[in-house]
């Protein structure tokens, strides 16, 4: 069954399970695993490939919006974003470049794979927690508990 909704405008319908529900499936208990399954099945299933392309385009638009707001020198991808980029690179790139404000810079920031690989989000979360705990204030607070 092919999707009856398109996720080309806002990012939230793609990330909140709308695509999966449009296939007649309930919202998954583990969205990350389900997303990985859909991305993997896109190699042989045209409906899954279309869903992945839509999600990649929406993700690219979200990246472009963040670039507009934050003006970084480089964008790095990790986690499932690496799989989206590998499966449908043109959709991701089109979404990214279509969302960028042209006056900000002559060329968009390059999009690179994170050196942390697919575990980048987990490593980043742990690093953020360590930053809070392993500062002078964090250690002082911890010593009083």
Q: Which mean pLDDT values do the consecutive 10-residue runs of the chain (145 residues) have?
A: 41 53 68 86 92 94 95 92 94 96 85 87 87 83 81
Residue 118: burial class (beta carbons within 10 Å; 0-12, 13-18, 19+): middle
| Residue 91 domain flag | yes
* Residues pairing with 113 in the sheet: 77
Q: Say whether both 26 and 62 belong to one domain.
A: yes
Residue with tokens 């980043």: 124
Do 80 and 126 lie in a common domain?
A: no
pLDDT at 121 (0 to 100): 82
Is residue 6 one of the residues assigned to a domain?
no
Q: Which domain holds residue 137?
A: 117-145
Q: How many domains are there within the chain?
A: 2
Rounded to whole angstroms, how far apart are CA atoms 16 and 46?
21
Residues 86 and 135 in one domain: no
Half-sphere exposure of 128 (CA within 13 A, CB side): 6
Residue 2 within any structural domain of the chain? no
């Amino acid at each position: 069954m092919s999707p009856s909704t398109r996720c080309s405008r806002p990012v939230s319908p793609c990330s909140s399970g709308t695509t999966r529900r449009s296939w007649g499936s309930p919202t998954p208990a583990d969205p990350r695993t389900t997303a990985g399954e859909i991305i993997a099945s896109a190699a042989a299933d045209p409906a899954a490939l279309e869903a992945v392309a839509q999600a990649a385009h929406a993700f690219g638009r979200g990246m472009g919006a963040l670039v507009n707001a934050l003006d970084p020198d480089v964008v790095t991808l990790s986690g499932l974003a690496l799989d989206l980029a590998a499966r449908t690179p043109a959709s991701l790139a089109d979404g990214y470049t279509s969302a960028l404000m042209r006056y900000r810079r002559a060329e968009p920031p390059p999009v690179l794979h994170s050196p942390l690989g697919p575990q980048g989000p987990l490593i980043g979360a742990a690093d953020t927690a360590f930053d809070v705990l392993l500062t002078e204030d964090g250690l002082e607070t911890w010593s009083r508990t």
